[in-house]
């Protein structure tokens, strides 16, 4: 999708297996939302995004799982193997379906662009103590766990997401904005999302900023990409795409998840 060459030493099957294992661990360690309205809303937006990704990654292959975790940090993540997690705190910052679509389009883009595989492969080559062939063949071995969680972007402690490179973030921003536009979400909302991140105070936005760098250059890149995204948005709306995903009422918030 980007046209650039990538170093990917690990097979897609192995990446999927690691993503599924990491997601299982997150489910075991975290608390899932018990509000069906919240989950239904997040799933609605996610499905709209997945309907426009390349067919081999689409929603009809039965592999995508979407869960909402009760955690007040505004985080979200997507893992190889078709696993998507959204923290309840994200809905306090991404306050509209379009803004949530920007988040999900961004995270799904990381998976589709093989960013985890690329980062993990670079770690293999950079670490002289790791045998590249054995790591690529059996990277789920315990001695590779730190490398694995770093490559997938999920920290060992639940809720801590590790940053991708600025190149990866820029690619995910732009491709994610195109996905949301193709799904029928107004692409300028991606810009509003990051403006929200920049203006929010308190610990939660700092947590997000520490893992997904938000600055004026990022917002400017989304502005620069907006004409292309608007053309996709207008074509999507002309084709009848208009996702009807209703945000949950304020009452959904679990007081136990708040600071």
pLDDT in tens, 121-131: 666 665 544 45
Domain of residue 80, residue span: 12-250
Region 212-240 average pLDDT = 88
| The predicted structure's pLDDT at residue 16 | 77
Q: Assess whether pLDDT exceeds 90 at residue 192.
A: yes
Label residue 62 left, alpha or beta by phi (over 0 means left) and psi (-120 to 50 means alpha). left
More confident residue, 146 or 100: 100
Q: Assess whether pLDDT exceeds 90 at residue 99.
A: yes
Cα–Cα distance for residue pair 190/176, rounded to 1 Å: 9
Region 230-254 average pLDDT = 85
User: Is 259 inside any structural domain?
Assistant: no
Cα–Cα distance for residue pair 116/174, rounded to 1 Å: 17
Name the residues annotated as catalytic.
107
β-bridge pairing 65-69 and 83-87: parallel
Name which of 5-9, 26-30, 173-177, 192-196 the model is least confident about: 5-9
**10-61, pLDDT tens digit by residue?**
777 887 787 888 888 888 888 999 889 999 999 999 999 999 988 765 555 5
Q: Is 26 helix (H, G, I), strand (E, B) or coil?
A: helix
User: Is 258 inside any structural domain?
Assistant: no
User: Is 5 inside any structural domain?
Assistant: no
Please provide residue 214's backbone torsions phi and psi, each rounded to the nearest 5 degrees: -120, 120
| The predicted structure's pLDDT at residue 163 | 52
Region 154-162 average pLDDT = 42
Query: What is the band of 144 on the pLDDT scale with cuts at 50, 70, 90?
Result: very low
Task: Domain count for the chain, please give it.
Answer: 1
Question: In the numeric block, which tokens belong to residue 42?
Answer: 């997040």
Region 84-103 average pLDDT = 93
Query: What is the band of 143 on the pLDDT scale with cuts at 50, 70, 90?
Result: very low
- Contact of 96 with 248, CB cutoff 8 Å: no
| The predicted structure's pLDDT at residue 167 | 75
More confident residue, 259 or 174: 174
Percentage of residues of the chain with pLDDT beyond 90 = 34
Radius of gyration of the chain (CA): 18
User: Is 180 inside any structural domain?
Assistant: yes
Cα–Cα distance for residue pair 22/81, rounded to 1 Å: 10
Region 153-164 average pLDDT = 45
Q: Assess whether pLDDT exceeds 80 at residue 76.
A: yes
Query: What is the band of 255 on the pLDDT scale with cuts at 50, 70, 90?
Result: very low
Question: In the numeric block, which tokens belong to residue 116?
Answer: 């985890």
User: Is 3 inside any structural domain?
Assistant: no
User: Is 80 inside any structural domain?
Assistant: yes
């Amino acid at each position: 999708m980007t046209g650039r060459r990538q170093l990917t030493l690990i097979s897609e099957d192995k990446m999927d297996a690691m993503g599924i294992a990491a997601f299982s661990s997150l489910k075991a360690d975290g608390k899932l939302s018990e509000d069906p309205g919240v989950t239904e809303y997040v799933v609605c937006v996610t499905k709209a995004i997945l309907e426009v990704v390349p067919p081999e990654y689409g929603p009809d292959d039965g592999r995508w799982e979407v869960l909402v975790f009760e955690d007040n940090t505004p985080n979200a993540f997507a893992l190889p193997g078709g696993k998507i997690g959204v923290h309840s705190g994200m809905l306090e910052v991404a306050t509209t379906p379009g803004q949530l679509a920007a988040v999900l389009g961004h995270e799904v883009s990381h998976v589709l662009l093989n960013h985890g595989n690329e980062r993990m492969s670079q770690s293999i080559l950079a670490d002289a103590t790791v045998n590249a062939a054995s790591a690529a063949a059996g990277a789920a071995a315990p001695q590779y766990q730190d490398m694995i969680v770093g490559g997938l972007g999920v920290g060992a402690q639940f809720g801590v997401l590790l940053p991708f490179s600025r190149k990866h973030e820029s690619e995910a921003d732009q491709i994610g904005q195109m996905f949301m536009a193709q799904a029928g979400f107004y692409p300028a909302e991606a810009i509003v999302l990051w403006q929200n991140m920049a203006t929010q105070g308190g610990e939660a936005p700092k947590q997000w900023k520490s893992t997904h760098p938000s600055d004026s250059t990022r917002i400017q890149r989304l502005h620069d990409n907006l004409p292309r995204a608007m053309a996709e948005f207008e074509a999507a709306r002309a084709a009848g795409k208009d996702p009807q995903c209703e945000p949950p009422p304020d009452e959904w918030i679990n007081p136990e998840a708040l600071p």
